[in-house]
Amino acid sequence: MAGADSDDSLYPIAVLIDELRNEDVQLRLNSIKKLSTIALALGVERTRTELLPFLTDTIYDEDEVLLALAEQLGNFTMLVGGSQADDAAVRGLARHAAAPSLGKENHYLIVFFFCLIGNVLTHVSSLLRHFRTLCSDDTPMVRRAAASKLGEFAKVLELEYVKSDIISLFTALASDEQDSVRLLAVEAGVSIATLLPQEDLETLVMPTLRQAAEDKSWRVRYMVADKFSDLQKAVGPEITKNDLVPAFQNLLKDCEAEVRAAAANKVKEFCENLPEDSRETIIMTHILPCVKVKCFFIQRLSTSLQSVTFQTDHLFLIVPCPEVRLNIISNLDCVNEVIGIRQLSQSLLPAIVELAEDAKWRVRLAIIEYMPLLAGQLGVEFFDEKLNSLCMAWLVDHVYAIREAATCNLMKLVEKFGAEWAQNTIVPKVLGMANDPNYLHRMTTLFCINALSEVCGQDITTKHMLPVVFKMSNDQVANVRFNVAKSLQKIGPVLDSNCLQTEVKPVLEKLASDQDMDVKYFAQEAISVLSLA
């Protein structure tokens, strides 16, 4: 501060020195934010000869302060004379960045380089020399910082420098012993690929990128997958067909889930960017077979297939895995938009039948859960002709979970197709099971009546289903009789009061005097709940 009293011209730097030396980080941050104002006060010459050297000599600080300083320097181009910026400033930064005495701060200095680099290309040889030193620094953090800026650096250089210098740096960083450096080099490689003419891509960039796609570190492979669409656009259709398609296949089948997921997220975009003349072949031959690795590919591929005429059978023939076929069906609305319901239904039916009869009961359960979706997509006529019998067959499956799911499925189908459809198509078949010799199937009839009464309404329940329930109250198996009591309790709220008093109450009273204790208990409970006592 004393310096400020004796010489006003030194006041800005004197104040800055005091504030930057203060222990309060927030105060130092605030002072950094004043740099542009201070530079304006000093003028171009003193900013270049006094302020910038001071900043390079006092570079050590908290990360937060260093980053704020980097941001400020990004706006310094005009404050140091624009394109006439002094070479000394650049050399000063380069000298400090390359100094072996600096530790982790090196990577911030690299950021400073790029805040000024756009207007100092007359010093490109010096910059390249110092940048090469940074790329081979002993400290991994420095090499990471250099790798992160390599692509940006390349964009402001003439093509001859990119070929002669940047490519070699890219190759070296992509082979670094640290995977954190190699993965950043991948991003730089994509940027570099956008700068090179087509004839140079195969020899200068692709060998290194192919190596990265097969890197021993999953983090590097993940980066390749994440940047794959950008790379595809950069290299063009021919290299995509010859090099990127097999590389993408491998990423889709990678041993690490994170890599597979990253690749899966690029499937839609990758397919959309394929050349039209080979899109269908590549998708059907190379991409769809990988669906058994990632089950939701079909959904992502759907919009990419809009311009493709292909045999829908491939969707099922190439993926024998039941879980994958189920996933295709679960995304039926997406696939239907592309393929059309008529073509889809022809290819879909064999797969549905196969899944409906799968030896694994969980697969059968899954296809039941998708049946309402199928019904909505395929329509009532197709359903009645091709799928109705499957739904009824599930009602007598030997696994209880399947029978239970099939019952819920009927209710959802009635919600979709209406009570009249149920009365004509479903209800007669369900009621016919009341005479099945297997008591488990007779009980399934009662379970279906419980579910269907809610969606079919009072009229159908009273006229068609209630008489069958009454008849089953005389069943020889006690389990059936007490389920009759439970069914009457369940459907009671659907019936009118007169029916409850004149028809339901006598049946429940009869069951309440049954010899079986369970039958008596559930009958009495139903009478109580329905207030029929």
Nearest one of 263, 360, 284 to 321, comparing CA atoms:
360
Q: Kindly tell me if the per-residue pLDDT of 519 is higher than 80.
A: yes
Question: Average pLDDT, stretch 65-92?
Answer: 59
Taking residues 133-153, what's their average pLDDT? Answer: 87
Residue 5: pLDDT above 80?
Answer: no
Q: What pLDDT does 316 receive? A: 46
Which of 464 and 278 is assigned the larger pLDDT? 464
Q: Is residue 358 part of a domain?
A: yes
Q: How confident is the model at residue 427 (pLDDT cuts 50, 70, 90)?
A: very high
Q: Minimum mean pLDDT among 147-156, 239-248, 306-315, 501-510: which range?
A: 306-315
Buried b (16+ CB within 10 A) or exposed e, 160-169: ebbbebbbeb
Residue 8 pLDDT greater than 90, yes or no: no
Contact in structure between 315 and 347 (CB atoms under 8 Å): yes
Q: Which of 257, 260, 203 is nearest to 228 (CA)?
A: 260
On the question of pLDDT at 217 being above 90, the answer is yes
Summarize pLDDT for 91-104 with one digit per residue, the tens: 555 554 444 444 44
- Calculate mean pLDDT across residues 14-20: 69
Q: Domain count of the chain?
A: 2
For the cut 90, the answer to whether the pLDDT of residue 133 exceeds it is: no
The DSSP 8-state label assigned to residue 62 in this structure reads -
**440 and 404 in a common domain:** no
Token pair in block for residue 460? 């159908």
Least confident among 219-223, 295-299, 322-326, 429-433: 295-299
Band of the pLDDT at 59, cuts 50, 70, 90? low
Q: pLDDT band at residue 124, thresholds of 50, 70 and 90?
A: low
Q: Would you say residue 317 has pLDDT above 80? A: no
Q: Residue 381: inside a domain, yes or no?
A: yes
C-alpha distance from residue 48 to each of 15, 85, 124, 437, 463 (Å): 18, 8, 19, 100, 97
Asked whether residue 293 carries a pLDDT value surpassing 60, the answer given is no
The pLDDT of residue 350 is 73
Q: How confident is the model at residue 308 (pLDDT cuts 50, 70, 90)?
A: very low
Same domain (yes/no): 445, 522: yes
Give mean pLDDT, residues 421-433: 93
Range with top average pLDDT, 33-37, 352-356, 405-409: 405-409
Domain boundary among 392, 417, 442: 417
DSSP 530: T
Mean pLDDT to the nearest integer, 496-508:
93
119 has a pLDDT exceeding 50:
no
CB atoms inside a 10 Å sphere around CB 502: 9
Within a domain: residue 384? yes
Report helix, strand or coil for 253.
Answer: coil
For residues 4 and 6, give the distance between their C-alpha atoms in angstroms, rounded to a whole number. Answer: 6
Whole domain around residue 351: which residue ranges? 323-417
Task: Tell whether the model's pLDDT for residue 368 goes beyond 70.
Answer: yes
* Mean pLDDT, residues 27-34 taken together: 79
Shared domain check, 527 and 474 = yes
Closest CA to 476 of 427, 433, 524, 443: 443
pLDDT of 523 reads 94
In a domain, 512, yes or no: yes
Question: Is position 396 within any domain?
Answer: yes
The pLDDT of residue 378 is 78
Residue 328 shares a structural domain with residue 373: yes
Judge whether residue 306 has pLDDT over 50. no
Structural contact between residues 301 and 315, judged by C-beta atoms closer than 8 angstroms: no
Q: Is the pLDDT of residue 60 over 80?
A: no
Same-domain pairing of 345 and 386: yes
Q: Which two tokens stand for residue 221?
A: 């492979």
Domain boundary among 365, 392, 417: 417
Q: Report yes or no on whether pTM surpasses 0.75.
A: no
Cβ 495 vs Cβ 461: under 8 Å: yes
**In angstroms, what CA-CA distances link 524 with 40, 388, 451, 509, 528?**
94, 38, 22, 8, 6
What is the CATH classification number for the domain harbouring 454?
Answer: 1.25.10.10
Looking at residues 510-528, what average pLDDT do you find? 94
> Please, is 237 exposed, middle or buried when counting C-beta atoms within 10 Å of its C-beta (0-12, 13-18, 19+)?
middle
> How far apart (Å, rounded) are the C-alpha atoms in residues 266 and 268?
6
In this predicted structure, which of 35-39, 169-173, 494-498 has the lowest mean pLDDT?
35-39
Q: In angstroms, rounded to a whole number, what is the distance separating the alpha carbons of residues 320 and 335? A: 18
Average pLDDT, the chain: 78
> Does 444 share its domain with 530?
yes
pLDDT greater than 70 at residue 2: no
Residue 157: inside a domain: no
Give the model's pLDDT for residue 91.
Answer: 52
Specify whether 459 is located in the same domain as 518: yes
Q: What is the SS3 string spanning 453-506? A: HHHHHHHHHHHHHHHHHHHHCCCCCHHHHHHHHHHHHHHHHHCCHHHHHHHHHH
Pair (459, 530) in one structural domain: yes
pLDDT of residue 122: 47
Q: How far is Cα 412 from Cα 390, in angstroms, rounded to an integer? A: 15
Q: What angle do CA 206, 281, 354 make, to 5 degrees?
A: 125
Selected residue with higher pLDDT from 488 and 340: 488
CB-based contacts of 406, cutoff 8 Å, min separation 6: 368, 391, 394, 395, 397
Kindly state whether residues 379 and 461 are assigned to the same domain.
no
Task: Quote the tokens at residue 253.
Answer: 């089948």
- 443 with 519, same domain: the answer is yes
Answer yes or no: do 532 and 438 share one domain.
yes
Is 69 within a domain? no
pLDDT tens-digit series, residues 218-271: 999 999 999 999 999 999 888 988 889 999 989 988 889 889 888 888 887 888
The per-residue pLDDT for 74 is: 56
**pLDDT at 295 exceeding the cut of 60:** no
Do 440 and 530 share a structural domain? yes
Residue 422 lies in a domain: no
Stronger pLDDT, 218 or 11, i.e. the higher one:
218
Q: What is the pLDDT of residue 309?
A: 40
Work out the average pLDDT over 390-413: 92
DSSP per-residue codes, 365-432: HHHHHHHHHHHHHH-HHHIIIIIHHHHHHHTT-SSHHHHHHHHHHHHHHHHHH-HHHIIIIIHHHHHH
Q: Which residue has the higher pLDDT, 402 or 275?
A: 402
Lowest mean pLDDT among 27-41, 66-80, 252-266: 66-80
CB 456 within 8 A of CB 423: yes
Structure confidence at residue 482 (pLDDT): 94
- Which one of 417, 447, 469 terminates a domain? 417
Q: Which two tokens stand for residue 39?
A: 């530079």
